[in-house]
Structure 1
Amino acid sequence: MISYPDALARLLGEAAALDSERVDLAFASDRFLARDIVSPHALPGFDNAAMDGYAVRANGETLPADSTYAIAAMHAAGDDTYDYPDAEACEIATGARMPAGFDTVVPVERTERHGDRVRFTVEERRGQNVRHAGSDIRAGEVALPAGRCVDPAAIMLLAALGVDRIDVLRRPRVAIVNTGSELNDGGPLPLAGIHDSNGPFLAASLSRWGAELVGRTRVPDHGEAFHIAVRDALARHADLIVTTGAVSAGRFDFVPAALCALGARELFHKVAIRPGKPLLAARFDHGPLVVALPGNPIAVAVGYRFFVAPILRAMAGLPPERPFRARLDAVPDVREGMQHFGLGELFHDESGLPVARMTPAQAAYRILPYTRANVWLSATDSYTEVVDAWPLDPTDAA
């Protein structure tokens, strides 16, 4: 039986960053940048008013209260007039380009206007309320680094820079195969049937990575259906196959032998973890990685979080994830010689430090505690007062 660090290292040694493709920004959401985005120009592109008011040329460091100025024009956002050479002041709107030589904007709330003259009611500072060109980002500066997920904030920046096509990593092609003669879709269940929860969970989890599902199949615990599903995933050029169930050592645990018969090379089988010990990993030469998870729901959640997600990070060109540390408010007794993954609820003590509490009533088959947790906790051999903590959703760390 292999240790968790050794198993993960062996698995990541088989994973490589995907190739890239160029896409329109409208189709780039949740993709990962294949290379740095360098800003093509400054942002803002010109000095502009930070608020509605009056633009003036300050003759000193301050503009005295009760000073008055003649208003030459109204300067709105989008106006291309750049020069009012003889003007003392001009009315200006938020975002409007600062006319040549004007360096200060006085807010309209601190002024009194009388016809074509304006009076400033309080002392004002030179240079105030002006957004300077390049104060957000300069031309030639790296706007977004390679490996960055194209989230809404990234899209906002790229759109503001006028970048409409970017190079992103290809979506990972993933196939899901759920085994179990007892599994059913929604609706009335047969006497010994259960609803399939692993398939929907994995599909939803993989969608957070922008994965392309090239197959999602449920097969019984006998016959050729598993072979057909895997061969179909190979034909669809899957990068990763994730299976659930039939991976232990019982009469109906056929997955290890079936993968061997299909030509997969086993990387390891059985990992010193709880839950999820029977987990298996394999590789098809010149083909996909396979992660075969046990069938219990929380074992699937652990397998996804601590095996599948690290593979997806590697495929996205991201460095390995690092945990943060949290103090446990109560230390549970656990079996030694294993890597333990547990669900926890993170809060902060009076001094603002992170504290975790183990979610009650955890078991590999119990799903409800998963819905009440907000963090994963892990420890080797036994929990101590300070443990590793991980975001519940691995995409939060991407």
Structure 2
Amino acid sequence: MISYDQALERLLAHTRRLPGESRSPVDSLGCVLARDVRSPMDLPSFDHAAMDGYALSARQPLAAGSEHLVVGSQAAGDAARASQGIACEIMTGARLPDGLDAVVAVERTQWLARGDDGTPARIRLLDTLAAGYNVRYAGSDVAKGALVVAAGTRIEPAHVMLLAALGVTSVEVVRQPRVAIIGTGKELLADPTQPLADEQIHHSNGPYLRAAFAAAGVQVLSCETLDDTASHYREAVVRAREAGADLIVSTGAVSMGRYDFVPDTLQTLGAELLFHKVAIRPGKPMLAAMLGDATLVLALPGTPMAVAVGFRFFAAPVLRAWAGQGSEAVLHAVLDTPQQAKPGLRHFLRARLGQGSDGRLHASLLKLQQPFRIQPFAEAGAWVLLGEDAGDCLPGMLVEIASLHPGGPLSVSTIRDMNCQGTPI
């Protein structure tokens, strides 16, 4: 049995960055950028008004009370025009007429005269006006050639907005990883529309993994449910490899019982064993292997929280490595619930989060941590990680925390039962 850190090191040593592919920014949502994107233009691309008002030349500050003739009007989308230094009515977003360099808001002026068409012809300033006031300069948001999105960034809607504003039509993103999911156990009922027999349970690990991988931007090739037959498992693994799976995740049949056929079956396929059994709770019987040089296998115990831990703390780091991303930042919270951790094991515990009266982030462990329980997982806001030498963990100590799902926020479902009577975050 090896430690969690050793297991993760062996996994990541067998990963390689996946190739890139070209996509439009909209079609790249949720994908990871493979190459830096630099701005092809200034943003804004021209000097323009930040609000409705009057554009003037204020190279020398214009005093409050000064009066100015107004000639013409400039709306957003109008072509550039010369001004001869005379004030011009201007609308928000409109390009500044040549020679003008400041904008006074309508409400900070007094009309003195109107033209025949009712438009302002002469105004008085209520405040001193200096050059650059209420002007958005070209390149003040993004300068041409500047790095706007770095490789390794997961594309979010805000990135799509930025890339669209810059006129970027395609970006290179990392190819989506391809995963095949195999659930084993003759007690599993895969079709929830069918009635359960007395000896059956609904299959929840497969739907969970399918949803979790999809949310992480992974292409799920298949999700099969098999009985406890080694030959059927072997056939499913072969199908997954032939379909081009980068990762095969199976659940069940990985421990030491008579029906735990996964280790021997992978060996008959020529797999290179990376590890079998990790000093963690839950999920100790976990196995990892390589099939050839392109397909990684993670064989997880069938207990629901062992599956959740296997995905979050083993599969997720592999996905980051394939995308060229570094390791996740380590986050901490103040523990509010005492916990006695068994020495020698890395513990992954479900918790709720809240902001304490001290202004710090607090974690309260859920009372029911048994690995078969799913309801607490749905109620949790984060994982709490306790190291192998954590020992007796007392309230007030700092503990490492992680989001429930890779790339997801730390969240609070509820703060009831929390010792800190704070404000949810």
Q: TM-score range by the shorter chain?
A: over 0.9
Aligned ranges 1:283-294 → 2 under 5 Å: 283-294=290-301
TM-score by length of 1: 0.96
- Picking from 214, 219, 226, the partner of 1:212 is 219
8 Å Cα contact 1:234/1:287 also seen in 2: no
Q: Which residue of structure 1 lines up, in the alignment, with residue 34 of structure 2?
A: 34
Q: Which residue of structure 1 lines up, in the alignment, with residue 399 of structure 2?
A: 387
Paired amino acid for 2:267: C
8 Å Cα contact 1:66/1:121 also seen in 2: yes
8 Å Cα contact 2:341/2:386 also seen in 1: no
Structure 1: distance between partners of 2:374 and 2:25? 38
Kindly state the Cα deviation for residue 392 of structure 1 after the two structures are TM-superposed.
Answer: 1.6
Aligned ranges 1:137-148 → 2 under 5 Å: 137-148=142-153
Over the residues paired in the alignment, what is the CA RMSD in angstroms?
1.5
Q: Which residue of structure 2 lines up, in the alignment, with residue 156 of structure 1?
A: 161
* Deviation per residue, 1:132-169 (Å, 9 max, x gap): 11111111111111111111111111111100111111
8 Å Cα contact 1:181/1:221 also seen in 2: yes
- Picking from 85, 88, 102, the partner of 2:86 is 88
- Picking from 348, 362, 378, the partner of 1:371 is 378
Structure 1: distance between partners of 2:36 and 2:294? 29
Moved more, 4-13 or 373-382: 373-382
Aligned ranges 1:293-308 → 2 under 5 Å: 293-308=300-315
- Picking from 115, 119, 132, the partner of 2:137 is 132
Structure 2: distance between partners of 1:110 and 1:351? 45
SS in 1 for 2:183: strand
Q: Which residue of structure 2 lines up, in the alignment, with residue 52 of structure 1?
A: 52
Kindly state the Cα deviation for residue 271 of structure 1 after the two structures are TM-superposed.
Answer: 0.3
Structure 1: distance between partners of 2:337 and 2:134? 53
Q: Which residue of structure 2 lines up, in the alignment, with residue 78 of structure 1?
A: 77
Kindly state the Cα deviation for residue 255 of structure 1 after the two structures are TM-superposed.
Answer: 1.1
Q: Which residue of structure 1 lines up, in the alignment, with residue 118 of structure 2?
A: none
* Deviation per residue, 1:314-357 (Å, 9 max, x gap): 00100112321222112211211101111111212223112111
SS in 2 for 1:243: strand
Kindly state the Cα deviation for residue 59 of structure 1 after the two structures are TM-superposed.
Answer: 4.8
Paired amino acid for 1:352: G
Extract structure 1 runs of 4+ deviating beyond 6 A: none
Q: Which residue of structure 2 lines up, in the alignment, with residue 244 of structure 1?
A: 251
Paired amino acid for 1:229: A
Moved more, 295-304 or 382-391: 382-391
- Picking from 327, 349, 353, the partner of 2:334 is 327
SS in 1 for 2:407: helix
Structure 1: distance between partners of 2:59 and 2:249? 70
Aligned length: 395
- Picking from 308, 318, 321, the partner of 1:314 is 321
Structure 2: distance between partners of 1:100 and 1:208? 50
Moved more, 92-101 or 376-385: 376-385
2:344 equivalent to 1:337: yes
- Picking from 158, 167, 178, the partner of 1:173 is 178
- Picking from 103, 106, 118, the partner of 2:104 is 106
Kindly state the Cα deviation for residue 284 of structure 1 after the two structures are TM-superposed.
Answer: 0.7
* Deviation per residue, 1:44-90 (Å, 9 max, x gap): 111111111111111533x33332222111101111133122x5211
Q: Which residue of structure 1 lines up, in the alignment, with residue 192 of structure 2?
A: 186
SS in 2 for 1:327: strand
* Deviation per residue, 1:2-24 (Å, 9 max, x gap): 11000000000001110111122
- Picking from 334, 349, 354, the partner of 2:361 is 354
SS in 1 for 2:386: strand
Kindly state the Cα deviation for residue 223 of structure 1 after the two structures are TM-superposed.
Answer: 5.4
Matched residues, percent identical? Answer: 45
Kindly state the Cα deviation for residue 121 of structure 1 after the two structures are TM-superposed.
Answer: 2.9
Paired amino acid for 2:94: A
Structure 1: distance between partners of 2:407 and 2:219? 16
Moved more, 177-186 or 306-315: 177-186
8 Å Cα contact 1:208/1:395 also seen in 2: no
Q: Which residue of structure 2 lines up, in the alignment, with residue 396 of structure 1?
A: 408
Paired amino acid for 1:186: P
8 Å Cα contact 2:83/2:100 also seen in 1: no
Structure 2: distance between partners of 1:120 and 1:207? 59
8 Å Cα contact 1:53/1:91 also seen in 2: yes
Structure 1: distance between partners of 2:24 and 2:132? 39
Structure 1: distance between partners of 2:247 and 2:214? 14
